[in-house]
Amino acid sequence: MAKAPAKFSDLLSLAYLVVSNRRLLMPINRSFIENLPINPLLAETKIIDEFTKILEESNKSANRDKYYEDFLDLFSFYQVYAAKHSLNILFPPLTNDKKINTGIIINFFENRQKEINEELEDFMAFKKLEEKKVAFESMLSQEVIYSLSDSELNTLYRKLDSVIDSINENFDIRRNLKSRMINLLGILKRDLKPKMPNFDKFWALVGYTGLLYGLYEEKVMKIIDKIKDVLNFIWKIQATAEGLPSTNPVITIIFKGIKPK
């Protein structure tokens, strides 16, 4: 049986452990990773901004060499992030010479910053327009618009990724069902925005939990538990927006055999 590919979360955890054992202060830590914006363009900007900050610090120092590991951390993390999000970025190869590598990395970040500046301006203009449209739609329809913070978006994104990983790791689920579920989860991730008019598509996951349990029972409980985790997270956001107390009920999914009459 072919070995399953390493999960993105595992790669990030490994990178985190490596750098955390090397120094007390570092540009990439768990907080930085967990607070990256959902939108790849904004995430790229944050990575580049972090590099720029380190570069400015190094320019004030008499010894730029001591910042080499920081440069390398950001450069390597950027590559992992780009691979995860299928970004079409050409990363230059490095050499065995630290000074040459420092120049290569600095040039890469400076050039990449120029490349995304125009894209970022277009994105921010589009985002502002969409926010205004959502605001006016809410005023006209009098419907509740669910607001998600960056932290909530990141958490929900990770929870959906966790469900996808669990489905991919399960070899009992038939291919067609697995494909449909992963497709739905991909759509849910794609459609996530800071302002959501509803979470209707998420509730399709309830039906899939029934299918999974009916077909595979205990073999898929890990997946079902992760789906319940996603749904409870969504339910909490909806309940809070509707004014329910923080002690609102937790969703429990129970499957019982139905005896024919």
Residue 109 has pLDDT above 80, yes or no: yes
Q: How confident is the model at residue 2 (pLDDT cuts 50, 70, 90)?
A: very low
Provide φ and ψ at 146, rounded to 5°.
-85, 125
Top pLDDT among 211 and 244 is at 211
* Mean pLDDT rounded to a whole number for the chain: 81
pLDDT score for 60: 87
- Rounded CA-CA distance 172/178 in Å is 10
Q: How confident is the model at residue 17 (pLDDT cuts 50, 70, 90)?
A: very low
Top pLDDT among 124 and 247 is at 124
pLDDT score for 35: 82
Going from the C-alpha of 66 to that of each of 8, 74, 221, the distances in angstroms are 29, 14, 49
- Please write the tens of the pLDDT for every residue from 191-224: 888 888 888 899 999 889 888 988 998 899 999 9
What is the full DSSP assignment across the chain?
A: -PPPPPPHHHHHHHHHHHHHTT-SS-S--HHHHHTS-SSHHHHHHHHHHHHHHHHHHHHHSS-GGGGHHHHHHHHHHHHHHHHHTT----PPPP-S-HHHHHHHHHHHHHHHHHHHHHHHHHHHHHHHHHHHHHHHHHHHH----EE--HHHHHHHHHHHHHHHHHHHH-SSS-HHHHHHHHHHHHHHHHT--SEES--GGGGHHHHHHHHHHHHHGGGGHHHHHHHHHHHHHHHHHHHHHTT--TTPPPP----------
Lowest mean pLDDT among 28-37, 100-109, 176-185: 28-37
pLDDT score for 52: 92
Note whether 134 and 197 are within 8 A (CB).
Answer: yes
pLDDT score for 191: 86
Q: What is the pTM of this model?
A: 0.47
Residue 259 has pLDDT above 50, yes or no: no
Go through the domains of the chain in sequence order and give each one's CATH number.
Answer: 8-139 (no CATH), 144-241 (1.20.1440)
Residue 179 has pLDDT above 70, yes or no: yes
